[in-house]
Structure 1
Amino acid sequence: MTKQVKSKKRVADHGEVFTAEREVKAMCDLVKQETERIDSRFLEPACGDGNFLAEILSRKLAIVRKKYKKSPYDWERNSLLTLGSIYGVDLLVDNCIECRQRLFELWDKEYKAVCKKECNDDTREAAKFVLSRNIVCGNALTLNCVDENGKDTTEPIVFSEWTLPFNDARMQRSDYTFAELLAAEEEKPKRKKKKDEPEQISLMLDEKINEVPSDEGVFLKKYITHYRRVQENG
């Protein structure tokens, strides 16, 4: 069973208490249909070491296996798309490192089970890179990155949108500032949120987002490359 507290000092300094596994599963069940869509995007603004994100990833990977287990190529592409649909922010560096590693190990275990001898180290490096972009050390309230002490910097949080727009081996990454994504999300009609539903937002899908670099950082940059080589655009 996952521990809910790492230390009393962390509770006192940061109010850090992790959600228990039973509650995580119950809350994810409230949005069950979304957790079973490969392309639905989830953000955990205080992700800790990844309790919610690991559960969501497990559910999504089960769908990827069901759909693509007979094709290593399709499994790789869609599993990376799945990793790219999960986002997390946390103030503490060690939590971010542990969260990335936890999600990678979960993905890699499934990779070995499905693709066996077809597993490729380039794909593993691509998975690690996607997680390095999506799990960010930052402050979800100020929308800025933080330093090793959890203090705000002047650097804005940047998230990447990952897509497979050409239905081939090319993966597209588009970088946006977190602040602009939230502003775009707030312009959309609101649906009533169920009690205890985890935070889930459709990042980067608003048509009003302008894909032209500007001083306000609406859209930053776009990269298109083979899905096994996304890490080359670090």
Structure 2
Amino acid sequence: MHLFLTSSNLTLNGQYINEENGFRSLLFDVLPHHIRCLYIASDPIDTIHNDEWGNYQKKALMNSHFLVDIFTILDDRNKEKTEELVKESDLIILGGGHVPTQNKFFREIHLKKYLKEYEGVIVGVSAGSMNCAKTVYAMPELPGEYLDKKYQRYLPGLELTQTMIIPHYNEIHDDCLDGVHIFKDIAYPDSAKRTFIVLVDGSFIHIHEGKEVIYGLSYKIEKGKQSLIQEKDCMFTLDS
């Protein structure tokens, strides 16, 4: 299996697969010439947006010269076919969205079980990347989640990696939620006993045969502090 954890796999205009840090070339190299693609939505009941976002992914692949023979969107409409659709796919895209909502859907369709024997390529996008971890860090993102004492920040994930990521740093690094700063007041304290890898759009992690390599600008939050891992156009191998 080749696993890519991305903050965003598309260009800013959504028209193409992102070429920053060599992502498009590396993805092209590990896929077959003709692709059967499965896009797994984050919110199974939001079928209108699922079709819209799925079509963005399909068009971006085709615009970037990937030959897409089959493109299927997996949500509530066909979730009973999850095992079959996974087995028939060369490329699985785990869509972005609300982390806990997607996490619940993944568990409902037993995706973790069906991915154990999967030997194709998986691309996680934002929430999809976050839910690939063994323990998922669901940092509060919607109004009220930080204040909700029942909100669960740690969820069981797909167990495809131990790495917990926070995406879209370029967009959210100054954001506040429920009156607090999402990094200084939420992520930093939560890192007392955990390590988070922070990615900007265009950076990604490639995981294959137990080796995890970060491509592009990235940071680490650990023990309440944030530090630079590397600049853009660089590679860094994470400790196993």
TM-score, structure 1 as length reference? 0.34
Higher helix share: 1
Higher strand share: 2
TM-score, structure 2 as length reference? 0.33
Larger relative contact order (CA 8 Å, sep ≥ 6): 2
